[in-house]
Amino acid sequence: MPAPRERKPVIVAISGASGACYALRTLSRLLALGRTVHVTTSKAGRRVLHEEADLPPGPLDAALRRVLPDHPGHLFVHDIQDVGASIASGSFDVAGMAVVPCSVGTLARIASGVSINLVDRAADVMLKERRPLVLLLRETPLSLLHIENMATVTRAGAVVLPASPGFYSRPESIDDLVDFLVARVLDHLGVDHDLGKPWTGKSPPRSPQEGSGR
């Protein structure tokens, strides 16, 4: 009997777009919730993690464990070229996959079904097995090619989630803006979380420190 979706592992792939904060926050929340997470990153994604989040050099496994807080979950790191990894097969059952952030190059390969690395292959598996695939796209402005590729992957079953946070929750920090998007990623993966509150039709009250806006 297959395991319930809330107990299945989750795949997080990191590609070479700006947005290392989204990747690290997604990983930390999933692990804090006790989930098993399989992660892989492209070479460009590894560079972004270093340049934007000061991820130390060396093996990715050790580097992530140094920057992520202690957690009850389990982290498995796969080399980007290991196309024989567990997550490259449809027989390895997972709750879903998120590419956080997703570059337009990765988007294009997923849209065309061309797999040159483990990120592409794992995403292709999600589509063929009809499992959730969330692409946190980080690019602006968008060309017609980008838009057509987004339409293609959407028709194939993926969710394109642009890195465009809302402001109705009155964010007070960059962390709040990051959490807004990570919450949406977890929503589409079917993962319960405590990041932010859903919109209820009414804005939260202003804090005493907020001025009149004049």
**Confidence class for position 19, pLDDT limits 50, 70, 90:** very high
Per residue in 135-161, pLDDT (tens digit) is 999 999 999 999 999 999 999 999 999
39, 13 in Cβ contact below 8 A?
A: yes
Task: Tell me the average pLDDT across 113-125.
Answer: 97
Domain assignments of the chain as residue spans, ordered by start: 5-189
Q: Kindly report the pTM of this predicted structure.
A: 0.90
Task: Tell me the average pLDDT across 13-37.
Answer: 96
Q: Across the chain, what does the average pLDDT equal? A: 91
CA distance 75 to 10: 10
pLDDT score, position 66: 86
**Confidence class for position 209, pLDDT limits 50, 70, 90:** low
208 has a pLDDT exceeding 70? no
Q: From the options 3.40.50.1950, 3.40.640.10, 3.40.190.10, 2.40.110.10, give the CATH code of 5-189.
A: 3.40.50.1950
CA count, 13 A, side-chain hemisphere, 11: 32
